[in-house]
Amino acid sequence: MIQMNNVVKKYPNGVVAANGISIDIQKGEFVYVVGPSGAGKSTFIKLMYREEKPTSGEVVIAGMDLTKLKNRQVPLLRRQLGVVFQDFKLLPRLNVYENVAFALEVIEENPKDIRKRVMDVLDLVGLKHKVRMFPNELSGGEQQRVAIARSIVNMPKVVIADEPTGNLDPETSWEIMNIFEEINTRGTTIVMATHNREIVNTIRKRVIAIEGGLIVRDVYGGDYGYES
C-alpha cells in the first residue's frame, strides 16, 4: 500500500529531513511513527500525501508513483487518502455536517449519496446527534472525531494521522484511538505519527522509529522506546 525506496528530502535551508528512508507498509496495517521532535516524522508523513516532494528516491502510495505524479494529478492521490491533523483543521464557519460533507462536495459526489455517507461516518464516530453544531461548540475530542469522519467519508485506502491525540487529554485520546482501531478493522491502512507513549505501549502495533531522517527501528508489536 505504501512503499518508499531510498527517499531523501533536503529542504532549501539545508535541513535533511529524510536521509535514505525505505519502508513497505501492507494493506490493512496499523503503523505508529515515533521519534523525537525534529527527527523527520512530519516530513515522512508529508511525503505520503505529497505535501512535500522527495529530493530523490521513490514513493508509491496506493499504486501511484508520487515522483511521477503531475501537480494536476495530486487531487487524485488525495482522494485515495484521509488525513488527520493535531489541530483538527475544521472549517470554523461550517457546522459538523457541512464539514464532513465538504470532503465529498469537493470531489463532486452525487448529493443523494453525500447525505447517507456523511450520516454513516458521523454515526461511526458517535456524533450523529451533533450534526448542526459548529466546531467552536464542540470539545477537542469531538472536533477530532469530526476531522476523522471527514478523513474517512470518501472511503480512502489509507488514513494518515499526524499526532491526532497531541492536543487531547488522555481519556479523550483513548476514545480517538478506539475509532482508529475500528476504522483499521474495516480494512483501512493507518499510519499515525505520535508522541503518546502510553498508547503505543498499550495498543501494540507496528512501530517505526525515525531519528535524524533515518529509520532506526521497525518492530511489529514494539513499544514506544523513548523516555517521555
Partner 1 sequence: MYEMYTEVTTAMKARTIRRHFRESIKSLGRNGWMTFASISAVTVTLLLVGVFTIIMMNLNKVADDIENDVEIKVLIDIISDPTEAQAAEEQLMEEIRGLPGVEEVVYSSKEEELNLLIAGYGEELSLFEQSNPLNNVLYVKATEPQQTASVAKAIEKFEHTQEVKYGEGKVEKLFSFLNTSRNVGLILIVGLLFTAIFLISNTIRITIIARRDEIEIMKLVGATNSFVRIPFVLEGMWLGVLGALIPIAVVSIVYVNIFNIVQPKLDGEFLQLLSATPLLYQVNGLLLIMGVFIGIWGSFMSVRKFLKV
Question: Which residue among 8, 16, 64, 133 contacts partner 1 (CB under 8 A)?
Answer: 64
Between CA 162 and CA 137 the distance in angstroms is 24
Binding pattern to partner 1, positions 37-56, x when CB under 8 A? ------------x-x-----
Binding pattern to partner 1, positions 137-166, x when CB under 8 A? -------------x---x------------
DSSP character at residue 205? -
- Establish if 194 lies at the interface with partner 1 (CB under 8 A): no
Nearest distance, CB of residue 199 and partner 1, angstroms: 24
Question: Which residue among 36, 55, 56, 106 contacts partner 1 (CB under 8 A)?
Answer: 106
Between CA 154 and CA 183 the distance in angstroms is 13
Between 15 and 91, name the residue whose CB sits nearer to partner 1: 91
- Establish if 9 lies at the interface with partner 1 (CB under 8 A): no
- Establish if 83 lies at the interface with partner 1 (CB under 8 A): yes
**Cell digits of residue 101:** 460533507
User: 10 Å Cβ neighbour count for 33?
Assistant: 25
Query: Closest Cα partner for 142 from 130, 153, 132, 152?
Result: 130
Question: Which residue among 108, 116, 187, 221 contacts partner 1 (CB under 8 A)?
Answer: 108
Between 34 and 100, name the residue whose CB sits nearer to partner 1: 100
Contact of 2 with 63, CB cutoff 8 Å: no
- Residue 103, CA distances (Å) to 64, 96, 99 in order: 21, 12, 7
- Residue 127, CA distances (Å) to 9, 11, 101, 184, 188 in order: 39, 40, 14, 19, 21
Block residue for cell numbers 505504501? 2
Residues forming contacts to partner 1 in the complex (CB under 8 A) are: 49, 51, 60, 63-65, 68-70, 72-79, 83, 89, 91, 93, 102-103, 105-108, 111, 150, 154
